Each structure stands twice: as structure tokens, then as C-alpha cells.
Amino acid sequence: MQDFVQHIINGISLGSIYALIALGYTMVYGILKMINFAHSDVYMVGAFGAYYIARAFGIEAQPGIGSLAILLVSSMIACSILGLAIERFAYRPLRNSPKLNILITAIGVSLFLEYSGQAVFGADPKVFPEVMTDHTLATIFGVDLKSFDLTVLGVSILAMLGLEFLIYKTKLGKAMRAVSANASVASMLGMNPDRIIAFTFVVGSALAGIGSVLVGMKYPKIDPLMGMMIGMKAFVAAVLGGIGNVGGAVLGALIMGLSEEMVVAYFSSTYRDALAFGILIVILIFRPAGLLGKYSVEKV
């Protein structure tokens, strides 16, 4: 029994990490109808950005909330700038091209970031600075609840609520929804689609930045290919919940995290990654809109 509860806790904590990244995928897809393959690599760059800033300021020696804040801010800034650059230079020129071209470009950007990361940062893993220690906050059923896990879960839920508020209750959110529905009409009505899209990328990337710092604290090993698998699973989570739907991203991510944990615990760890793709295939065949999504008919 104790083990089962431990697995549930592990699964939820894994899922909340996927949630932070899945939110980025879902936002970009919602507005541009494209899968931003490079999102997970933006996440990776955020982790390295925080790593190098920490080294530059010698933060390792001063753990505490202040250092954490510095790491978070530097990661968010690095990610946002990178996200903006990618949008401006790689995606914007292809705004009116066939979907296939954008997809190929996205893959190209992802690979470029990964391999330049290897070239610039070095392919072997680095150790993320330890700025906060992990405490046990509570114990239920004999299983410890650690502060890191609760922080990540809390941040994901906060992010989700914040995004829901942004998209449905603010003027900016209304503009985002308008651009998503029909960009040319939106521009005729006075909105600047380029700015709105850029803003969306910034928000998504900033979330990835937060995610990378939190993950770096929990699993202190970072390397240039760290985004690959996490990104894939976060994407599947977003699709599972209904891509374009903010609540769906978090729900899908939690389900992904839990099922992955259960498969590894009770079945075999080798199928851990294959599970993600299995879920994707099943969802796309039986309920392509996702759990919380709406199915839209393609018009001629």
C-alpha cells in the first residue's frame, strides 16, 4: 500500500513537469496550428542559461530563495529571447507556406539547437547548481511528500490558472483567440497578429524556462539532449488532453506521468518511452480531439 501511494506521488510529480512544458506546446498550437518541435530545446537552453549565470555569479555557494529567483529569471529571459528569435527568423517567413514546410523547419530548428548545444556546451552532462534543499513537508500513508514535488505541482497549477485567466478574461487573451480563429480578419480589425504571436511564444517559452529550473533542481544532471524525450512526452500529454486546451494540457500531463510511473513500476522500464507513443496512437485513432478538446470539421 505504501508503495502504491509512493508511485502515485512519483507519477504526479513527473506529470507536473510534463504539464509545464505541455502548456507551451498547447499555446503555440492553439494560435498557429503548428507543433513547435523546438520547444523542448528552448527548455534545454533555459536550463543551460541558468547554469552558466549561476556559475558567473558564484551562486552555488549561496543557496536560498534569492539564488532561486535569479536562476528563474535568467532562465525565463533566455528562453523568451530564444523563443522570439525562433519565431521571427524561422517560423514567420513560412507563415503562408504549406504545413509540411513549417514542420520540417521546426524539426530543423530542434536539431540545430540540440547539436549546437552539444558543440557549444559540450555533450557530456553538467551539474545544475543546488540552490534549495529538499525538505519533507508532510507524510501520508508512510510516504514522504517532498517540497520540490509540491513546488512543481503548485507552479503548474498556478500556470494553468494564470493562462486560463489570461486567455479568457483579458483583452490580450481575446486578441489571441481572435488571431487563432482567423489571423487575416483579426488584422483587419486592428490587431497586430505578429505581435500577438510573438507574445504567445514568449509566454510559452517563459513557462519552459520555469520548468527547466525546477527540473534542474530536482534532477541535477543537464545535457544538451535532455529536452528530446521530455518534449515528446509533453507533446503527447498536450494531445491527450486536447491540443489547444490549457486545462487539457495539465490533465493530459498528469495522466501521462501516472501511467508512465505505473508501467515502469509494475511492468517493465523498457516500455517507458514506447508507452508515450502508444498512448498517442490510441488517442489519435479513437478520440483525435483529445479528452477535453472539441472536434472540428475541416472545411473545403
Partner 1 sequence: MKRLLVTLALVLPLMVSCTKKSDEILIGEYDSLTGSDATFGLSTNKGVRMAFDEINAAGGIKGKKVALKTLDDQGKNEEAASATTRLITQDKVIAVIGGVASGRSKAAAPIAQANKIPFVSPASTNPDVTKIGDYVFRVCFIDPFQGFVMAKFATENLKLKKVAVLRDVKNDYSVGLADVFVTEFKKMGGEIVADISYQAGDIDFKAQLTQIRSKNPEGLYVPGYYTEVGLIAQQARQLGIKAPMMGGDGWDSDKLSEIGKDAINGNYYSNHYTVESTDPAVTEFIKKFKEKYNETPDALAALGYDAARILAQAIERTSDMSSKSIRDELSKTKDFVGVTGKITMNENRDAMKSAVVVQVNGNQRKFITTIAQ
Partner 2 sequence: MKAFKNPLIALLAMGALALALEFGFNAFFQLMAMFILVNCLMSMSLNLVNGYTGQFSLGHAGFMAVGAYAAAYGSSHVHIFPEPFLMGNYVITTLLAGALAAFAGLLVGLPSLRLKGDYLAIVTLGFGEIVRVALLNMDFLGGPRGYSGIPSYGNFISGFLFASFWVLLCFFTIWRLMGSSHGRGFLSVREDEIAAEAMGINTTRMKVKAFVLSSFFAGVAGAIFAHITSYISPSSFTFLQSVNAVIMVVLGGMGSMTGSLVAAVIVTILPEALRPLQDLTGIDLRMVIYSLALILMMILRPKGLFGAMEFGDVWRKYVKRSS
Among 188, 285, 296, 297, binds partner 2 (CB under 8 A): 285
Q: Using an 8 Å Cβ cutoff, are 30 and 243 in contact?
A: yes
- Decide if residue 35 touches partner 2 (CB under 8 A): yes
CB 14 to partner 2: min, Å:
19
Q: Which is nearer to partner 1, 10 or 105 (CB)?
A: 10
The whole-angstrom separation of Cα 132 and Cα 38 is 29
CB 270 to partner 1: min, Å:
5
- Decide if residue 261 touches partner 1 (CB under 8 A): yes
- Decide if residue 119 touches partner 2 (CB under 8 A): yes
254 binds, among partner 1, partner 2, none (CB under 5 to 8 A by kind): none
Q: At what angle do helices 171-181 and 147-169 cross, to 10 degrees?
A: 80
Q: Using an 8 Å Cβ cutoff, are 166 and 173 in contact?
A: yes
* Span interacting with partner 2, options 57-65, 92-100, 133-141, 245-253, rule CB under 8 A: 92-100
CB 185 to partner 1: min, Å:
44
* Span interacting with partner 2, options 8-16, 96-104, 200-208, 259-267, rule CB under 8 A: 96-104
Q: Which is nearer to partner 1, 161 or 229 (CB)?
A: 229
Look up residue 255 and give its three cell numbers: 495522466
State which of positions 90-129 bind partner 1 (CB under 8 A): 118, 122-125, 127
- Decide if residue 103 touches partner 2 (CB under 8 A): yes
The whole-angstrom separation of Cα 162 and Cα 165 is 5
Q: Which is nearer to partner 2, 65 or 285 (CB)?
A: 285
Among 84, 90, 198, 262, binds partner 2 (CB under 8 A): 90
221 binds, among partner 1, partner 2, none (CB under 5 to 8 A by kind): partner 1
Summarize as ranges the residues that interact with partner 2 (CB under 8 A): 34-35, 90, 93-94, 97, 99-105, 107-112, 114-116, 118-119, 123, 232, 235-236, 239, 270-271, 273-274, 276-278, 280-281, 284-285, 288, 298, 300
